[in-house]
Chain A
Amino acid sequence: MPETDRESIGPQQAEALPHIVEARLWFVREVLPLEAVLRQYLRHNWRDRSDIEDLLQDVYVRVYESARKQIPDAPKSFVFTTARNMLINRMRERHVVPIEAVTDLDALGIAMDAPGPDRSALARDELRRLQDAIDRLPPRCREAIVLGRINGLSGREIATRMGVTEATVSKHLTDGMCTLSDMLYGEPAADPRRPA
């Protein structure tokens, strides 16, 4: 198809290269589900809690960039090895804490050879988990998210329905998305308050 036609198609993203698409899918499928354990690992090995978000992001960036070159065979072990190496480098830079402190993966019960969490068990819990996450949003935020996600309303329609400005709706929705992402990826899958 000549290049000019692409123009007329309108908003269409230039096709991403296949290996980048692969890396994205792999990241979403294999890496993101490890976030809760990864956070736990980082908290366990790093004193300053306010650094956790940045550390997590750095692990993600390294893992993702590696995956763009080649998709690692064993995602879990790759992610935690990356995290471990990164922590060791940070500690060396800051001349703190003996290296041994971060080699201790077993202490957290992170079995490297074990397969990831049972997919069907995860799936069974997924809806309960989603509901629980929505329930825990602040009320106005929850209302905006429910109107937008379940009733499928646009931002403008939500504003009308809730009787607030569009900017307020945007804020609720954005906050809601952020919070949901932390609840869905940042927290362990099994919720101790709700036995299965």
Chain B
Amino acid sequence: MSETTHTEADAVPARQIKADAAVWLERRHFWNWSAEDQAALDSWRAESSAHEVAYLRMEAAWGRTERLAALKPSETENAPPSRVRTVSRIAVGVAVALMWGVAGMYYISRPVEKVYATALGGHRTVTLADGTLIELNTDTVLRAQIGASDRLVSLEKGEAYFQIKHDPARPFVVTAGNQRVTDVGTKFLVRRSAGRLEVAVMEGRVQLGASDGRGPRMLTQGDVAVASGNAVSIARKQVQTLTNELGWRHGVLVFDHTTLADATDEINRYNRTKVVVTDPSVARLTIDGTFPTSNIGAFTDAAQEIFRLRVDRRGDEMVISR
């Protein structure tokens, strides 16, 4: 036991340091938080071990209350804002949560990898322990590991929409193949298909780069980056267009001058029965409208009526032709 550096010279009472730690944590958690704020907090923590332990303690206690946040049922963004919950309501939530068992209780010390997946045509909203919302689109597999110092998600396949609970001290990183998306406070979409990755930023900023750290670039609201192989192209789209791309969150596909080729590719992601277009002159026709992801009939009926095309059912295929 070394009796070295510390003396009673610390003039600031422990109670005051504790209160200061709470002020830092409160600011970081509830108000705008800049890089400068983070730097100021870092240097406060580095100033003395008393600051550091007080902050660790406050953060850990607050982290434990995160359990309560996880009791909030998942809801889509457009759902009406939840009412103020009374404590009795919490009690109900607690009772329900007790049935979950205890997994994840110690995520602060031992990040556990969790796997979330959807089947063809599926849609699932996941609330992570840190409050981040992830919506999984059809046929998607995603692994999440939420730790005390970092948050890692790996998109194995499919598409997911992220609404990150921002935390400058704990970057949120999404990897997909050889690309890496780092959240800088935002809502964004990541879609992975064979050899191709698309990242669309709805709000805020993300950084996109190769997993080995090369070629990082900042994407801001409206940016859509497409990476295939080592090439990355970036286009800017209207936010409305991006919102259309998120129609699946409400069970629909929104087409706006979309070619039949693209539209069928899209709807085929959700259904076992596939729409097939072979005639190039048909594939080039463009279509507008909103279609349920799970109702191929609505789509083929529209093609039939609008363009006077033929639709033939052959086994698991709906073939559209002239």
The interface of chain A, by Cβ under 8 A from chain B, is: 1, 5, 8-14, 16, 21, 24-25, 27-29, 32, 53-54, 56-58, 60-62, 64-66, 81-82, 85, 89, 119-120, 123-124, 126-128, 130-131, 134-135, 142-143, 145-152, 154-156, 158, 161, 169-170, 173-175, 177-178, 180-181, 184-185
- Assembled-state Cα–Cα distance A53/B268 (Å): 64
Say yes or no: A127-B53 contact (C-beta < 8 A), given A53-B13, A177-B26. Answer: no
How would residues 70 to 104 of chain B score, 1 for a CB under 8 Å from any chain A CB and 0 otherwise? 01100000000010110100110010011000100
Chain B residues contacting A147 (CB-CB under 8 Å) are 84
Instruction: Give the distance in Å from the alpha carbon of A17 to the alpha carbon of B40 in the complex.
Output: 19
CB distance from A193 to the nearest CB of B (A): 15
Question: Using Cβ atoms and an 8 Å threshold, which residues of chain B touch A149?
Answer: 65-66, 68-69
Let me know if A177 and B58 touch, CB within 8 A. Answer: yes
Given known contacts A123-B102, A152-B131, A10 and B35 CB-to-CB distance under 8 angstroms: yes
Contact between B87 and A134, CB atoms less than 8 A apart = yes
Given A16-B149, A21-B149, A62-B6: A9 and B207 interface contact (C-beta under 8 Å): yes
Chain A nearest CB: distance from B299 CB in Å?
Answer: 37
**A130–B148 touching, CB < 8 Å:** no
Q: Report if B49 contacts A (CB, 8 A).
A: yes
With a CB–CB cut-off of 8 A, which chain B residues contact A81?
1
Select one of A1, A21, A58 contacting B216, CB under 8 A: A1
CB distance from A95 to the nearest CB of B (A): 16
CB within 8 Å for A1 and B105 given contacts A54-B14, A89-B3, A181-B22: no
How far apart are the CA atoms of A10 and B36 in the complex, in Å? 10
Judging by beta carbons under 8 Å apart, are A180 and B62 in contact? yes
* Closest B residue to A59 using CB positions: B53
Known contacts being A13-B168, A85-B1, is A1 close to B213, with CB within 8 Å?
yes
Could you tell me if A146 and B109 are in contact, using CB atoms closer than 8 angstroms?
no
Chain B residues with a Cβ under 8 A of chain A: 1-3, 5-6, 8, 13-15, 17-19, 22-23, 25-27, 29-31, 33-35, 37-38, 42, 48-50, 52-54, 56-58, 60-62, 64-69, 71-72, 82, 84-85, 87, 90-91, 94, 97-98, 102, 105-106, 108-109, 131, 148-149, 165, 168-169, 171, 182, 184-185, 205, 207, 213-214, 216, 218
* Contact, CB under 8 Å: B33 / A124: no
Known: A32-B57, A131-B91, A174-B22. A9 touches B216 (CB 8 A): yes
Among B57, B85, B91, B185, the residue within 8 A (CB) of A150 is B85
Given A131-B94, A149-B65 in contact, is the A13-B169 Cβ separation under 8 Å?
yes
Contact between A82 and B1 (Cβ–Cβ < 8 Å)? yes
A154 touches B30 (CB 8 A): yes
Chain B residue numbers with a CB within 8 Å of A135 are 87
**Set of chain B residues within 8 Å of A5, measured between Cβ atoms:** 216
User: Contacts A13-B168, A53-B15; is A28 near B108 (CB within 8 Å)?
Assistant: yes
For A151, the closest partner residue in chain B by CB is B82
Q: Are A29 and B64 in contact (CB under 8 A)?
A: no
Partner of A127, one of B2, B31, B67: B67
Subset of 16 A-B contacts with CB under 8 Å: A10-B205, A21-B149, A27-B56, A29-B108, A61-B50, A66-B2, A131-B94, A134-B65, A150-B71, A154-B31, A169-B30, A174-B23, A174-B26, A178-B19, A181-B62, A184-B65
Within the complex, the shortest CB–CB distance from B88 to chain A, in Å, comes to 10
